[in-house]
Structure 1
Amino acid sequence: MNLTDALLDSWDRQCRILTAVASRITPENQGAKPSDDGWDLLTQLAHIHKVRWEFLRNVAPDLAEGIDDGYAGGWEEPVVDLETAKSNLDKTAAAVREAVRRGLENGIEQFGWYDNPVLFLQHMIWHEGWHVGLIFLALRRAGQEPPQEWEEEKVWSEWRIEVWEG
């Protein structure tokens, strides 16, 4: 596997993790928050999408075209329902992947606000990992924390090849 394929694979893995975590969010628990003053679960998903969309507009505007940002007038109020939020994540996942692929294959050094496409990708993965942690915390506070076996299968096994024995 070459470096470009390995980096894109890391993004695909991150997206599978986020999709799995998002599947734990339902209409019944979407209002759960990681803290009393935190964002609810629906807003966490909408925010991840909005960040992808905003940064795509900077690094590959053509890939952001036709994708709704999911918010009403800025960053304060998501206007999407849960299924739309999940669908939006699929759209921006593909667009971020394509932007990074293009940047790497074309040898682009300056990549929007980033020194290179790899730093853009790392920022996206780090940002989403932060929000996945907040989502898990909100689920825990709502009494719906995923079991360790689920986390191992759906999250940690995406990053490593060892078999977890529990």
Structure 2
Amino acid sequence: MPKMIFVNLPVTDLARSTAFYEAIGGTINPLFSNEQATAIVLSDAIYVMLLTHDFYRTFTKKDVIDAHRTSGVLLAISCDSKADVDAMIDKAVSAGGKGDPGPKQEFGELMYGRSFEDPDGHHWEPNWMAPQAIQGGAEALTKAEAPAGK
């Protein structure tokens, strides 16, 4: 069985967050959803678990961050093309998210990335990489132009 990732995010308004993630292309898995959590399927291997703050606190004794003020994680997700990156940003903004809180990342024809924040401030970075960038790794990116804004 391939490994899966379940990204657990604390949210202040479960219905609003569920609608947001559906608007950017996710689907609800009702088997893992209830009044405290919504399981959003982004791919066969990636789930986003939206958890009310009270439910989230049952998994940790740490304070729940306010992602509008504190960065705890940057969530990168691959896209099939540069156009798909832009489309995801457009969907996120249309659904109430914040577009481009970070700089665009452009490495010529090797890589392209942008970012958005969901309504709770969680920072996502959709990106596209050309096959030669994936195969060439960091060396290929080092030879490409520096990211815009850096």
Same fold (TM over 0.5): no
Q: Higher relative contact order by CA 8 Å / sep ≥ 6: 1 or 2?
A: 1
What TM-score, normalized to structure 2?
0.30
